Amino acid sequence: DTAVSQTPKYLVTQMGNDKSIKCEQNLGHDTMYWYKQDSKKFLKIMFSYNNKELIINETVPNRFSPKSPDKAHLNLHINSLELGDSAVYFCASSQDLAANYGYTFGSGTRLTVV
Amino acid sequence: LAKTTQPISMDSYEGQEVNITCSHNNIATNDYITWYQQFPSQGPRFIIQGYKTKVTNEVASLFIPADRKSSTLSLPRVSLSDTAVYYCLVAGRTSGNTPLVFGKGTRLSVIA
């Protein structure tokens, strides 16, 4: 069983479209995250949720809207996609906000905007 | 979140021990040091975490000197499958210390 699974793995879409990426964790963790890894390989946090509550919103454009229907799911919806949104998006989870046992990442979604 | 500095890349032959050092001069008293491994097309994977002295698990060892201003990840007898990017992260183990950015990491290439 995959601990943190995100779909789709690859996403190619045109500028201006709206797309969603789904993430689910079966670890029973309270906290979930979205990270973006750009072409320079920096992995930067976008959002974190703890028990469905938004904790971190790290200067991300309003076009990005996370939704957490329950603590096992954190989806990312992106409106009006732009070329600069092309990146690999990683979902992650941790036991709680303190993350004493580290973070468990999904395998990533490679988004290409053309 | 303490700033960290690691070598951009390292090469090693199979079977050798590899040591990757991370500098974190402004580490805070309550900060822990954590290392992650990332293979191509995968998310980072937790390897090891420590606070001081030495920590060892089935994958690696982590050496932290008394001043804690640096740490060294030691991978014994590497194999081709250890080729990956290794990230050093320094953060407190309390709520509100979520790492905002993982640095570029160290790209380790293991050669046959």
The predicted model gives B50-61 an average pLDDT of: 94
Which has the higher per-residue pLDDT, B102 or B35?
B35
Work out the pLDDT band at B95, boundaries 50, 70, 90. low
pLDDT of residue A100: 79
User: Does residue A114 contact residue A11 with C-beta atoms inside 8 Å?
Assistant: no
**Nearest C-alpha in B relative to A44:** B101
Distance of alpha carbon A26 from alpha carbon A30, whole angstroms: 11
pLDDT along chain A (114 residues), means of 10: 90 97 96 90 88 84 93 96 96 88 92 97
| Tokens 């200067």, residue located | A59
Q: What is the pLDDT of residue B6?
A: 94
Tell me: pLDDT of B16 over 60.
yes
User: Which pLDDT value is given to residue B97?
Assistant: 65
For residues B31 and B16, the model is more confident at: B16
Residues from chain B contacting residue A44 (CB–CB below 8 Å):
100-102
Average pLDDT over residues B63-85: 96
Confidence of residue B76 (pLDDT cuts 50, 70, 90): very high
Contacting B residues, span 11-30, partner chain A, CB-CB under 8 Å? none
pLDDT bracket for residue B104 (50, 70, 90): confident
| A61/B91: higher pLDDT | A61
Contact A107 B41 (CB under 8 A): yes
Chain A residue whose CA is closest to B86: A41
- Mean pLDDT score, B76-104: 83
Using the Cβ of B45 and the Cβ atoms of chain A, whether some distance falls under 8 Å is answered with yes
Q: Which residues of B touch A2 (CB under 8 A)?
A: none
Q: What is the mean pLDDT of residues B43-56?
A: 93
Q: Is B42 on the interface with A (CB under 8 A)?
A: yes
The reported pLDDT for the residue numbered A58 is 79
Q: For residue A1, what pLDDT is reported?
A: 64
